[in-house]
Structure 1
């Protein structure tokens, strides 16, 4: 696949002038020409430019960054996916720390689970059951919100501790909440799981207006755009048709808010974290 210079500039968040400068000064230009003489970047050249953007953003001088960008990145070590052998014990330990409001211990336990077993196993076997139980306690007793919030914050801290991919390339996934949706933890789990797979992703976070979501998908051109909603009234405010007509991104939706809604044929609806990861991987690989 090849890309026009303006498309690459939009993809990378730089100006076309910057791309021309890097081409003229450092030879980081497109090598392909169409029959009409238009210049086009190949995927490998876009990856080099992504490395260039990342390096200059870290303060590396452009000339040195160009040399480093041409070098192949060191392969990341794959996360070893082992099932949590004693999920019940891990849940009890995390819940006990939560009920004592022992945030440092919760953070340590959550980080160790992610490191030892990977995001998907930790999320499905421990984090989700614990957060559901804490949520049920709040609903049943009308108290304990502080416990639930500290537990969620500890899980979020562990998820954000997963090293993000530094490999340049096409943006694999753009993650977003529906308009006025405030629950972001599941999106953070998906992002962390994608990082373990060495995929590039960005998250727009909570309460993303419909217009802003459409603009971001057009500008960033992700392979997959996934929108989360936990209530139907929030899910119904997502402009699926507009997103589809304005972008080549595969559209996916997740969260309980989509249950029972009639979805267009072009929308995927993964029901679990592994399914969501699979949707992205199948699109980019």
Structure 2
């Protein structure tokens, strides 16, 4: 070990392997390695076999990186901010590259450029925490695309292409995460009038990132079968998603009745939660909103186990 490293990390200070650091910070190992190799944001020690070991101040530095990223600062600009005194003011988020990334992603969808779509998705997921990707890129893009898709020629083709792409990428992540997760089981399904699977895919990605075992249904289940699904999968919560307002009868009668039948929380996610919030205030349906990370954070206090 170099003398400078000894000065920074005393010999008796605890050291953490990358998987433990990932658990503590919520940043996956692939992203931690990218921050180290591509941007020099962190410098962990190495064992004789080359395994990374992180000290407590490395973890604190990662938490500071997350603070800057959550304020909209591009990862490429974070290093210079970390090296400045703590009193430095936060740059205007408009100066970040998120607006540019959103427009690139929208252009890839509209041109059906799958290679570009894949590159943008992989780049974001490798460099930023999942919650940041959802909040700053994927949700705003879905919001804008759904506005553009009203009466637009080719809208259905664009929507189905994006859904198929995300279903594959997110499905792979869910599969591998479920193999190792010991978290509570969450069932996620869309409501009948939703035109696609975009909202339930985003909510499923957020839930998986927060440690839940996620069972995602591609098509809406009949309300009569949802209690059976909760029972058979031993689910701790049921999340229903939609980008539409949905039928008034479903919102005012069927959904509250379903929530009364179940012993687990029934959460409503996506634009439907914002549109119909006032009509469900006196029911047992939990309004989780249309921000996937916030929705899953709001679920945490309600889930048993």
| Shorter-chain TM-score tier | 0.5 to 0.7
- DSSP-derived class of the 1:270 partner: strand
Partner residue, 2:288: 270
- Matching residue within 146, 163, 169 for 1:158: 169
**What is the deviation of 1:209?**
0.9
* Distance 1:225-1:76 versus aligned 2 partners, 3 A rule: farther
Partner residue, 1:213: 226
TM value normalised by structure 1: 0.63
Residues in 2 aligned to 1:87 and 1:273: alpha-carbon distance in whole angstroms = 18
Checking the alignment, whether the CA contact within 8 Å between 2:189 and 2:221 is kept in structure 1 is yes
* Distance 1:112-1:154 versus aligned 2 partners, 3 A rule: farther
- Matching residue within 115, 124, 127 for 1:113: 124
- Paired residues in the alignment total 212
Checking the alignment, whether the CA contact within 8 Å between 2:170 and 2:201 is kept in structure 1 is yes
- DSSP-derived class of the 1:201 partner: strand
Partner residue, 1:23: none
The within-5 A match list for 1:99-138 is 99-138=110-149
Consecutive unaligned residues of structure 1, counting only runs of 5 or more, are 1-73
Partner residue, 1:22: none
- DSSP-derived class of the 2:243 partner: coil
* Distance 1:145-1:184 versus aligned 2 partners, 3 A rule: closer
- DSSP-derived class of the 2:246 partner: helix
Consecutive unaligned residues of structure 2, counting only runs of 5 or more, are 1-18, 28-65, 75-96
Checking the alignment, whether the CA contact within 8 Å between 1:176 and 1:213 is kept in structure 2 is no
**What is the deviation of 1:255?**
2.5
**What is the deviation of 1:219?**
2.8
- DSSP-derived class of the 1:198 partner: coil
Residues in 2 aligned to 1:207 and 1:133: alpha-carbon distance in whole angstroms = 24
Checking the alignment, whether the CA contact within 8 Å between 1:174 and 1:217 is kept in structure 2 is yes
- DSSP-derived class of the 2:288 partner: coil
Structure 1 position 247 matched with structure 2 position 258 = no
TM value normalised by structure 2: 0.59
* Distance 1:246-1:99 versus aligned 2 partners, 3 A rule: closer
Please report the RMSD computed on the Cα atoms of aligned residues, expressed in angstroms: 2.9
Structure 1 position 188 matched with structure 2 position 201 = yes
- DSSP-derived class of the 2:126 partner: helix
